Chain A
């Protein structure tokens, strides 16, 4: 799987499923799936180890913290470890096993989210994501790219300047001592930004931005926004009445459609193209099929996913069909050629 859209869907799916169940068995299943996928995205053995070690480290901090935090704030349950005087604000009252377990599950959910995002990060570069921006926002995308290129340059400059000041006996003691470091950094970055702007102009950038948006586009955009706004207010204020609800849905749809239309039209007008557009491949489709299975579980099997330790502890249930459905998240790792694709 290599298409940024497919990966965005995958990470969204993982997030939704992780946050819609508190059944520890399912959460652990999802967590393990994201770790396996993260490992399969690794470019070398070290990164592969990191895909496992990093979430475990995260969990080592997140689980105890979440457990203690939940036990300290939710004083419900039958398995009571000890009691603090109940007039103490917040932490006063019984500290229970149920609350602690719920906290641990919350910690697991956090770890899963962390692990899913690290896998996503490893599979897709930020630049690939910027490529997802619609044509109409091409220039905003380029500006983001430039900013991303600038950050590592600034860190390098910062190191250089700190050393240069150190060799003239400079030591950082108070905030005033940052001046000799901040001034060259800012001035240097401005100079660099200026020469970059010059280089971009010399390479033909900016010819696009001189195109003036026609008054018609602007008016259409305003009409779309107003329609959308009317629909939204109708929906939130008068949702009880069926007539209003219909009106709201219709105007939401019309407003959204108009805005989408304007963006698409602007995109076609914009004169830029994408180098090496990555074609959607079979692996992407398969990855999506996996996500559909997971969504099926989330939407149809809500009851099966449900679990709570309150008011008294019970074993979480495990439904094999749900388990199989959730394993759809593993699809990117199973596909031939690894998750990176060819």
Chain B
């Protein structure tokens, strides 16, 4: 019998590309499987998914060889319009895939095009609203929904033509952990309860591995694709692509590899009888005056308070992580510091190196503070990467005497080769670093970063971590807004937790990240070794080494 989905010797090259994006891929997928497509950025995960519904090559152009079959149909021949009845597709950015502006209309769009009779349409939309937990939101304008709610609408819209397969291209990469969890749970339910075949491309593996039936690992150019049960495939996967628990399991030779926290805890009890407390690996914060000092900052938007008397400080050479749920006021705090809020909206005092900032112009503040906003693309407009740095210098009138020479900075950012490239052609990780270069070329003593790891894969995250550490060693203070607990566990000196505009906790990472306030999103290692003070896989390996 023919497999439900199969690819046979598929080779695909994008138009005007030199090397193929997919080279000789062969794989089979059974009906009802939950399949995870993983691999570094640019390894062809998205391209692979688009082969299953015919967007490749019908929408993208380019040359394709080989055979693809999905539920008896040939996407390469039939094209995406016809395949829309077999494969529902959900994209990365929830904002860029909506046609209508209301929840219900958006879901019905596919049915209107397919000329489904109104009576039938109502039934289907009603059923989907209930299934995806959207009934209460049916009349809401899409722009008022949270990221997680939007992705659930996108899933409902993709399912409305009753496809047998649901393909999702990094659906949670733009979401915070709570929303990501909400979306992934919905997908798991569709797979378990309704028997939908799920094809999911993802970076964030921690929470999804327990549900996966099969992993397709795309290791990148020149290396063959591996497909099979999770434990078998994870053995082949580069250690830097796996979540901490799997990394640990591989390093300590745990068999079979633990995928869930429960499995991890079993090994943790057996292998290490008495975990050692984490030793203080970071220098205690020095008693020098802080680079940044925020005192009793309150901010209101249209009479709604966003920040309520929040206070925090960042010392020189200190990396402080600012965490909290969406809407807790993290971004507002950063915007207030660099003077992007109207003066009447805020109360409180802000000092930078001992100077009051209150009535400074944004441009003046930003000569001394590097602020990286959430969307790096909003910054980039110049013709080359090097130009982006020069533009900032010219804006500040520093072009004749730059505090750090642009080539040197590009070197440190690992962008020397790309200096003459067009910034927008680069990968998301590289664009992020170009934007970082554009705001740090004034050599600021303080860096403010707003979710810099959004959409980055593990290697890109690690590169960013190294960069921040280097800056920190030179005495810059860093205030990092992030949802990424694993990153915080690795690099932060101190964690400040915001909740409803108030500072809920302020202390060392091992204390804050393992407290009840952080909820179910503590680092994996802290959850597997509760009470040990360990946060990262490195902590454990060092501890085990010492214990021997």
A residues at B contact (CB < 8 Å): 127, 142, 145-146, 148-149, 152-153, 157, 160-161, 163-171, 179-180, 183-184, 187-188, 192, 195-208, 271-277
How many residue pairs at the A-B interface have CB separations less than 8 Å?
Answer: 159
**Chain B contacts for A201, CB-based, 8 A:** 55, 58-59, 80-81
CB contacts (< 8 Å) of B125 on chain A: these are 275
Contact partner of B112 (CB less than 8 A), chosen from A149, A167, A275, is A275
Interface of A is mostly: helix
A165: chain B residues within 8 A (beta carbon): 378-379
Distance, CA A197 to CA B58, complexed state (A): 12
A206–B81 CB distance below 8 A: yes
Closest 8 CB pairs of A and B: A169-B395, A275-B108, A204-B84, A199-B97, A164-B378, A183-B381, A271-B115, A207-B81
Residues of B within 8 A of A204 (CB): 81, 84-85, 110, 113-114, 161
Q: How far is the CA of A184 from the CA of B111 in the complex (A)?
A: 35
A206 to chain B, nearest CB (A): 6
A11 to chain B, nearest CB (A): 23
Main secondary structure, interface of B, reads: helix
CB pair A171 B109 closer than 8 Å? no
In the complex, whether B153 has a CB less than 8 A from a CB of chain A is: no
Give the chain A neighbours of B58 by CB distance below 8 A. 201
Q: How far is the CA of A157 from the CA of B116 in the complex (A)?
A: 36
* Interface set of B (CB-CB < 8 Å, partner A): 53, 55, 58-59, 80-82, 84-85, 89, 91, 93, 95-102, 104-105, 108-118, 121-122, 125, 143, 157-158, 161, 335, 338, 340, 362-363, 366-367, 371, 373, 375, 377-381, 391-392, 395-396, 424, 438-439, 442
Given A145-B99, A184-B381, A275-B125, answer yes or no on A164-B115 (Cβ-Cβ < 8 Å).
no
Could you name 15 residue pairs across A and B whose Cβ atoms are closer than 8 Å? A127-B101, A127-B105, A145-B100, A149-B99, A163-B378, A164-B373, A171-B363, A198-B55, A204-B113, A204-B114, A205-B81, A208-B113, A271-B114, A272-B115, A276-B121
Q: A179 and B381: CB pair below 8 A?
A: yes
Among B99, B117, B118, B395, the residue within 8 A (CB) of A142 is B99
Other than the given A206-B81, A274-B118, A276-B122, 6 more pairs (CB < 8 A) read A149-B101, A167-B373, A168-B395, A168-B438, A198-B59, A204-B161
Q: Chain B nearest CB: distance from A82 CB in Å?
A: 47
Q: How far is the CA of A152 from the CA of B98 in the complex (A)?
A: 13
Measured in the bound complex, the distance between the Cα atoms of B117 and A103 in whole Å is 54
Name B108's closest neighbour in chain A (CB-CB): A275
Q: Known contacts A152-B143, A204-B114; is A168 also within 8 Å of B366 by CB?
A: yes
A127 contacts which chain B residues (CB < 8 A)?
A: 100-102, 105
CB atoms of B112 and A273 under 8 A apart: yes
B96 CB contact (under 8 Å) in A152, A170, A196: A196
